[in-house]
Amino acid sequence: MDFFEAQARARNRTNRLVLLFVAAVLGTIGAGYLAALFIHGSMVRQEASFGATSPWLYWNADLFIPVALITVAVVGVASLIKWTQMRAGGAAIAASVGGRAISPQTTDLHERRLLNIVEEMAIASGVPIPAVFVLEGEQSINAFAAGLKTTDAAVAVTRGTMEKLSRDELQAVVAHEFSHILNGDMRLNVKLSAIVFGILVIGIMGRGLLYSLGRGRVRGGGGKDKGGGIAFLLAIGIALMIVGYIGYFFGRLIQAAVSRQREFLADASAVQFTRNPAGISGALKKIGGYALGSQMTHANSAEIGHFFFAQGFRSNFGGLWATHPPLADRVLAVEPRWDGKFFEPPAVVDVARESFASAKIGGTPPLHREVLPSARIPFVPMAVIAEIGALTEAHFQRAQTALAAIPESLRTAAHDPLRAAALVYALLLDATEPTQAKQCGLITHHAGDATAETTRALHPATLTVEPSGRLPLLQLCLPTLRTLSREALAQFVTTLDELIHADGQVSPFEFALQKMLVHQLEALRTPSAAVAFHSFKAVEKDIAVVLSALAYLGSGDDRDAVRRAFGMGAHQVKLLDELALLPRPACGLTQLDAALTRLAQSSLPIKQRVLAAAAHAIGADGTVTIEEGELYRAIAASLDCPAPALAGA
């Protein structure tokens, strides 16, 4: 899967969605105008009846213009309000349907198994570890991913999904949702929800008006005036309901049409990632076999029905509203020789019968563990670019290898809100005693004696972590750091910065660590940052800073090697003919940080070219070090492009 091509397809689908939305709004305006024309004609008892043969009697500009303006205003404002609510991120959407955030410290074996799977997949694909939620009141089998970007994504599964599926099946469902994260489907889903709500709100207004009339809450004058007023309001309420639900009908059709084909792609991606078709087909067969299937009970579930792994509500109108393909079609797509039989549940709930060993809760299946080298690694720039946003079995194995090499004490600390920050600090402690003492003093000053003591206690274990395991360990810390209060988070960022600068210099690893953590934590506060730069010319200097910094980092004092590395990178940005190598003082890590901040606001084609150019600059000699690989992944992360661990790194 090409990450940039998938994102471009998502943008094209969004453009088509806008056209369909405009068509639905125009249809709503037309229905509203006809209703208004009928009410107006009835109330004023026009001489020309509504059914007159002259077509000109259907046109009333004085009536059409206000109806059109009011309809557009109501639909637009309602959609904007819903969009504003949902742009708070995936966690807010999960909470809106009753989701409970799973604590990284959970001792529930089903929750622990789910967290392990999500962590493995996030590290394998290079995305920040999403927040994980469980829908406690739902005993059916279903799940969804929500958010606007990879940095604010959340994965939610029902209690039934955790308890009824084996590890392989649960892994396939999570892989399906990760495909939606990487394909840009999440943002499209949010837009769909906002649009459908905007059209539906007209019907909600009509229903509210009729409810008020029925409860006697609308009062007017006495006598004939009162009777006429109520009749007028009743007619308006009925008209609004009819118009609103006509629009809602077509809105649901749009929602279903945009959603269905993406499910086949996500199923295929899950098979590609896990190399286990039985996982996804097994989950689908269990949905077909259990009485509850994938049906959701929460009142808000239908609103985000197109988010789910499987059909979350009953489809009306002969399947026209179905947001997902039929289960049988999905099973046949991954298992062509399927006999047509769904799962037959036992008389007792299967979780009560299934042992932890058979469910594979206690561990992960054995995999071939590749040896992670610490020297230079072969590096093919275009292969690295192709792996951005990829879901493959090889990435999954690398992630499991990296996680298995991390001491259990550190993994436990990464999930502990009281120790996660101290673990990050421990990774930054200097090898020399004077600098380390200064750093511990800074930690005491900002975070207190207890945190400083915890940092010292964790430091020896961090020395046993291979260089290739440092970024995965940081990724494990991120979900826990998200739970810190705003004040605690600000204190953490300040302490982090002072620790890095304690010795008066910043190493590439320290830069990568700070850039990844701070960018991903800040992205939670502003998940929907607008694109500010669409022109390569507008960010020419920033691109020059990035390529110059990487050229100096990989080539040292060899001027010829520096120029060659910069030239190979610059060749990938052919629209900038005058791109020039900068002097070393003009492209230090401070300048690199500022350049990446601006490039993060660029359009996706610019980001794609920058990452291609950076890969060629780093790999000018055909190899890369662990440190260079970490820096490249930090650059990709700061541009919101998920880069998995490099092969062998």
pLDDT tens-digit readout, 337-348: 898 888 887 654
User: pLDDT band at residue 58, thresholds of 50, 70 and 90?
Assistant: low
Q: Which range has the worst mean pLDDT, 581-590, 605-614, 638-647?
A: 638-647
Q: Which of 177, 510, 628, 630 is catalytic?
A: 177
Read off the pLDDT of residues 424-478 as tens digits, 9 standing for 90 and up: 999 999 988 899 999 999 999 999 999 999 999 999 999 998 887 888 899 899 8
pLDDT: is 606 or 392 the higher one?
606
Count Cα neighbours of 572 within 13 Å in the Cβ-side half-sphere: 26
Contact (CB, 8 A) for 514 and 167: no
Is residue 401 pLDDT above 90, yes or no?
Answer: no
Please report, rounded to a whole number, the percentage of residues in the chain having pLDDT higher than 90.
Answer: 27
Is the pLDDT at 36 greater than 90? The verdict is no
Tell which wins on pLDDT, 401 or 351.
401
Q: Which two structure tokens, joined as six digits, stand for 639?
A: 């541009």
Secondary structure (DSSP) of 478-533: HHHHHTS-HHHHHHHHHHHHHHHTTTS---HHHHHHHHHHHHHHHHTT-TTPPP-B
On average, the pLDDT of the chain sits at 80
- Which helix (H) or strand (E) covers residue 29, if one does? helix 3-44
Q: What is the mean pLDDT of residues 498-511?
A: 88
| N-terminal to C-terminal alpha carbon distance within the chain | 21
Which residues have C-beta within 8 Å of that of residue 513, sequence separation ≥ 6? 424, 427, 428, 470, 471, 474, 500, 634
**∠136-151-510 over CA atoms, to 5°?**
125
Domain ranges of the chain: 3-89+188-259, 91-187+271-334, 406-505, 530-638
CATH number of 91-187+271-334: 3.30.2010.10
pTM of the model: 0.74
CB contact at 8 A, 158 and 293: no
Q: Is the pLDDT of residue 229 over 80?
A: no
Is residue 177 part of the annotated active site? The answer reads yes
Is the pLDDT confidence value at 219 over 60?
no
Mean pLDDT for 76-90 is 84
pLDDT tier for residue 157 given thresholds of 50, 70 and 90 = very high
Identify the CA nearest to 298 among candidates 453, 94, 530, 149. Answer: 94
Amino acid 16: pLDDT: 66
Of 147-151, 527-531, 533-537, highest mean pLDDT? 533-537
List CB contacts of 606: < 8 A, sequence separation 6 or more: 533, 534, 536, 539, 599
Token pair listed for 73? 């205003």
CA distance 302 to 323: 10
